[in-house]
Structures are given as C-alpha cells and as structure tokens.
Structure 1
Amino acid sequence: MHNNLDIIIIGAGPIGLAAGIEAKRKGLRYLILDKGCLVNSIFNYPLNMTFFSTADRLEIGGIPFTSTHAKPTRSEALEYYRRVTEAEGLDVNLFEEVTAVITQENGTYQVESSKATYNTKHIIIAIGFYGIPNLLHVPGEELPKVKHYYFDPHYYYKQKVLVVGANNSSADVALETWRKGAEVTMVVREPTLGRIKYWTKPDLENRIEEGSIKAYFQAGITEIRENEVDIETLDGKVTIENDFVMAMTGYQPDFSFLEKIGVQLTNDYKRYPLYNRETMETNLKNVFLAGVICGGMDTHVWFIENSREHARVIVNHIASKENASN
C-alpha cells in the first residue's frame, strides 16, 4: 500500500504528463500510471505519421519542442515526450493498468492496479481513445486480414488492400501502401473525401482521378471473406478480390472504465462524460477528466494543443484546495 498521495494520474499521454509536471511544480505528491508505454497512443501511430499541428502546439510544461520539419513526425514526438519525462524527473509507472477505484470512508480513494494498491486524495483521468476501434459490424470482420491499426506500408507490397474510411488515416494508408506496390481500393460512406490534411488531399484526389486508386463513394462493406469482399454501391453489389481490409474507422475511449468507477455519461450515442467545465471535476468528488476523454465519442474535439490547458486548470484547483486546508 502506497499511502498519502495527493494525485494519481491515469494515463501517461501528453496530457497526463502535463498534469504530472504541474503537480510536481506545485509540490504535490503524485504518480502517473499507464497500462501501456509512455505516450502509448502516439507510439501506435503509423511509422511515417506527420502531425497536423506545429511543434509549438504539442509542447507541454513550457518545454520547447524543436523539429526539423514544418510539421513534426511521430518519431520526433516520441523523442520529445521521453526527454520531457526525463528532464522533469516525472514519477511514471508504465505497463501498470488501473483495475479498480474504491471510495474510502474518509473521502479518499484506493486505486488498485495490476501491480500495487495506492491511496490518493484526487484522481485525474487522462486516458486517450486509441485502444478500442470502432467496428464495422459485418460478417467476416473477425478474420485476421482485417486490421484496425496500421504501421508500415512495406508489409502490403503486392497485396490487394481495401481501405475503409475517408479521413486522414484512410488517406495516409491508401497513398502509402499504393506507393509501396499495393493494389488499393477505397470504400467511402460519404459522397466525397472527408477531413484530410491539406497537403495530402490533392495527392489522393489525383490518384483517384487517374485510376491508380479505385474509390467507391456512398458505399459500404457488407461481407468480408478470406479472399474477397462484398461492397454495396450506388450501382448495386460489387465483389472484389482482396488480401487485407484496413478499417480506418476511428477509435473510442474506454467508457466501460469510466462507468465501472462511477463517472456519469450521457445515455445517447455521444457518451459525453459529465464534468464541471471550470474545474474539470466529474460527478465523483475529487475525480477529474483531462484531454480527449472529455469529448466522449466526439474524439475530434480535443487534441493536445487545446486540452493541455486542462492539466493546469485541474492542478491549480487541487493545489488551491490543499493550501486552504493546511
């Protein structure tokens, strides 16, 4: 039992690290826990991924992020957040999953993890959304050829690849695998391409127009088989040969964890967690939300650049209460 912590921060992504920095600078006793590696979501981004944001918008703790590119890359971000963690001497326990949060009689919390048990006055939940993919809900989705995560285009050389989706990740997968020798088909639910980085969209549009990448718009997959995929299009059903389905359909936060510990969510599809907009405190006293988790299913609302402020707001609120009680 590790007693007398002021804050446990669940999630060692950029926002969780930002909260740790703020807590340390305020002299609070804190610990950051994460079930994966440091900035686990960024680690799981595609190998060649480039951020839409500039480096200064990804900075935390006022520590400069220098990049050799106009837009920083995945590898640069990993290096930056490692260096920040080391430079600040942050207390981070990685590969340690929080399994339970129990309210004590005195109003503090007992946090149980896969490795230890902790007592804390406050909890900051800064978990991301990259761990649970949005499913297609079609027959055959359980086949090994169906991928919800993408890493390196080389793997798909000389393969027939079907990419589902119309946004940034779908565009990157389609273009990168095509350039590495894959035969690429896209299935897009909407009538046009979606929200794509401005330097990528014209490239993809040109590849589709010239026929290098085949695209079905206002279409959807109806069944996946070992060597084929059925697609429902405006002109009826189309069956194509296929080796891999890249379902770039987005991800969702771990709502079951929030529900398990008692954080209230709206009952609609959006699953917005309820919290005080000024303090970020949930319906559970001294339990706070930070980062993308605040947006429920609207995972496009909160990014590093507009939610890093959550860390400062929450820790300032906690620190002011601690000072008032001392």
Structure 2
Amino acid sequence: MNTVFDIVIVGGGPIGIACGLEAKKNGLSYLIIEKGPIVNSLFHYPSNMQFFSSSEKLEIDEIPFISNEAKPKRDEALEYYRRIVTSNKLNMHLFEKVNNIQKNNGAFSITTNKNAYTSKQIVVATGFYDIPNLLNVPGEDLEKVVHYYDNPHYYSGQKVAVIGASNSAIDAALECYRKGAEVSLIIRGPEVGKRVKYWVRPDIINRIEEGSIKAYFNTTVKSITKEAITLVTNNEEVEIPNDFVLALTGYKPNFDFLQKLGVNISNDEKKLPEYNPETMETNIEGLYLAGVICGGMETHKWFIENSRIHAKMIMKNIVSDSITV
C-alpha cells in the first residue's frame, strides 16, 4: 500500500533539513528526497572554503554549531548538518533524483529514479548550485574548462584563467596563486565584486596591484582553445597562453523544474518565482518554496541564515490549514 505523506521535501540541504526537523516536531509524516549526499551543494563547495556567516548564524532548530573559528569551514558544516540528520533519524532518501511531480485530485504524485510517492504537500528547497551560468563561447566544452572548483593543488605550475568577480572566483584565484599557479583573473566589470568577503577583498586587490595576479577588467571571453584563451578587453582582442579555465560565473536555480510544476516566474531578468511571503506557498496550492530558490536569479538575496525561518513558516501554515479543515 502506497503511503501518503503529509509533506515531501525536495532537497536535502540545510533548509531542506530544517523543514524535515520542523515537520517532525509538528507530528507530520514527511520524506526528504536528495539527489546526492546529505547537503549535496555544500559537499561540492571548494574544500578550503570558509563561510561568510559565523557558525551561530548557520544553526538550524537552535542546535549549537561549534567551529574552530568564528566563521566555519566547509568540512565543519558537513559534519554539523550530517550529525543533525543522523542524530534526529530524519527520513531522508539520498542519491534519489525527482523526475516528475504532478498534482491530481488535491494530492501530489512524485516520481523519482527509484520509486514513486504521494504527498499532500510539497516543499521545493533545491537551492541554485546545480546549473552554472555558461559563457556560451567556442571552446567552453573543452575538458580544461570547469565551472566548479575544488582544490588548488591540481593547478600548481599551470597557467590558469579564473573568470568571475565574486567570492568563489576570488577565493580560487588566491588559492591557485599561492599553490604556484600563474593566475589571470578575468572580470566583466571595472572592479572586484563588492560582495567579496571583507577580509578577502583587500588581499586580492593587493595581489593585483603588486602584479602577482594579472587582472583583466571590463573584459569578456571570446573563445577558448587547448593552448590559449582569447579575451576582448578595451575593445581589443588579447590572446594569452592557458592550461585551465575556471569559469566561476555563478549559478542559477532549475527554472525548468519550477515551471514544469506550474510555478509562475516573472518575465524579467530576475526570474522571481511567485509565492506568498508570509506562508511561502506558491501559486500552486500545497506547493511551497524554501531557501535560496525563492530569489530567482538574485542568488545573493537568500542564504542559510535568513531563510532557515522558512521551515517554521511553512509548517505553521500547513498545521493551521489542517486544523481549519
């Protein structure tokens, strides 16, 4: 007999975990479905990454997060969220991908690559780290071009072009430089991004000014070959020798998935999904959004510390609706 869950949560990141905890506290039957390991997105962050937020701001459900420094590293976050899942015995299915969700007769039918489920409500908490913003230039499909960065050791002694001006790009540029890579930093705008971590921004500016890292401002990429990368800077083409390209130009939510579910998305460049800011319910009754996915292309708008409240808002609305009924 097919179990009908009160709620199925798509995404096992920190906010999906928070939703599972809140559902459990409210006596709701629930299932968290995650296509990779626990907190899959965090697992794919650079191995040396340090959060902008302090550890207490990354806590969920008032469970203490103790880190060696005020701002924790990636591995400390993996340990923290993993222990929450295991200690609370959350009902989470890992390495299971949701292929389709349909609403029929007031309930949702969920089909994955492993099983099928039925649920009264759905929470989509899938974040934005799965789909990179592509350069759309010739050569981007070469093996030497990557959109995710892990560890600088791999690039030691190599000519590396880092594309981007945000935290991920700046961290990669500095780490690769310090492990012996010859780094070129390619930035579309006139300066290093304003939202770069405040203790990192002076570091990259100093490395650029002293010539340790060559920066190309107001520059775009025209093409990439096995041996070089061609830039357009100050209306002139410049070709520089290159071994690897780290195209760290940001990521975006899976808008196709949302639209397939029937969620309305704004037609402007922000691509904001429609939801009630008081309940997080979308234009589809019983379908909720939680976490960074709520910001559309404004991926800096929502993050762990200011979206963990979404779990309480959603469960409060579900419980109050069930009482009303």
TM-score, normalised by the number of residues in structure 2 = 0.98
What SS class does the counterpart of residue 320 from structure 2 fall into? helix
Q: Tell whether 2:91 aligns with 1:82.
A: no
1:110 to 2:89 alignment: no
Q: Report % sequence identity.
A: 55
1:199 counterpart SS class: coil
RMSD: 1.0
Supply the distance in 2 between the matched residues of 1:166 and 1:99 (Cα, whole angstroms). Answer: 34
State how 1:15-34 maps to structure 2 within 5 Å: 15-34=15-34
- 2:159 paired residue number: 160
Deviations, residues 222-255 of structure 1 (Å, cap 9, x unaligned): 1111101111111611110000011110000011
Q: Residue deviations 1:78-97, cap 9 Å, x none?
A: 00001111121110001111
Q: Which residue of 2 aligns with 1:312?
A: 312
Structure-2 residue corresponding to 1:227: 227
5 Å matches for 1:290-305?
290-305=290-305
User: 1:3-58 CA deviation, whole Å, 9 max, x = no partner?
Assistant: 22100000000000000000000000000001111101100000000000000000
1:92-241 residue pairs with structure 2 within 5 A?
92-105=92-105, 107-194=106-193, 195-234=195-234, 236-241=236-241
Q: How does 1:45-84 map to 2 (within 5 A)?
A: 45-84=45-84
For structure 1, the 5+ residue unaligned runs are none
Please give the alpha-carbon distance, in whole angstroms, between the structure 2 residues aligned to 1:117 and 1:167: 40
* SS of structure 2 residue aligned to 1:319: helix
**How many residues are treated as equivalent by the alignment?**
324
1:70 Cα deviation (Å)? Answer: 1.7
Deviates more, 1:62-71 or 1:44-53: 62-71
Q: What SS does the corresponding residue of 2:3 show, helix, strand or coil? A: strand
1:50 corresponds to which letter in structure 2? Q
**Aligned match of 2:250:** 250
SS class of match (1:2): coil
Q: Deviations over 1:144-186 (max 9, x none)?
A: 1111000010000110000111111111010000111100001
- Gapped regions of structure 2 (runs ≥ 5): none
Q: CA–CA distance in 2 between the matches of 1:102 and 1:179?
A: 50
Q: 1:269 deviation in Å?
A: 2.1
Segments ≥4 residues shifted beyond 4 Å: none
